[in-house]
Amino acid sequence: MNFEAIKKETIMLVPNKEPALQRIPSEIRIDPLTGRTARICHFMKLAWEKPDFDALVSGTDAWCPFCGAKVHQLTPQFPAELIAEGRMCKGDMVIFPNMAPYDSIGAVAIFGARHYIPMTEFTPS
C-alpha cells in the first residue's frame, strides 16, 4: 500500500522574528483506500489572555433579552405541535428555540434568574 504525502512549504516574512524569512512546512496526505485527503499543519501556539468578565458583563443586564420577564417577551417560541407552551420552563430556567439554528431543532437554555453565572459556579442542579 502506498501512503502518499505531498510536502508543502509556506515562505513569509514575519515581523519581529529572526531570521526574517520563515519557512513553515505542511503536507497533504492521501488516503490510499478512499483517495480522500487531509492537511497536516503546524499552527503557532495560541496564548489566550483571560478576559475581565466582570468588566464585560457590567451594565449589560439593562438590555439583556434573557433577564427577568424579557425572556418571555423577546425570545422565540417553539411551534405548538412541538411544545404546547412555546417555551419549556422549570422554576426560573427557560428553554426556547435558537434564533441561529444549526439543526432542525436547536435550543437556548437560560439556567436561572442571574444575568451572569461564571462557568465555575455551574452546579449539577
Residues that bind Zn ion (CB under 5 A): 64, 66-67, 115
Shortest distance, position 73 Cβ to Zn ion, whole Å: 13
* Choice between 71 and 97, CB closer to Zn ion: 71
CA 76 and chain centroid, separation: 21
* Choice between 72 and 115, CB closer to Zn ion: 115
Shortest distance, position 61 Cβ to Zn ion, whole Å: 5
Buried b (16+ CB within 10 A) or exposed e, 95-125: bbbeeeeeeeeeebebeeeeeeeeeeeeeee
Across-strand partners of 94?
Answer: 89, 110
* Choice between 78 and 116, CB closer to Zn ion: 116
Residue pair 112/95 in contact (Cβ under 8 Å)? The answer is no
Nearest residue relative to Zn ion (C-beta) = 64
Shortest distance, position 59 Cβ to Zn ion, whole Å: 11
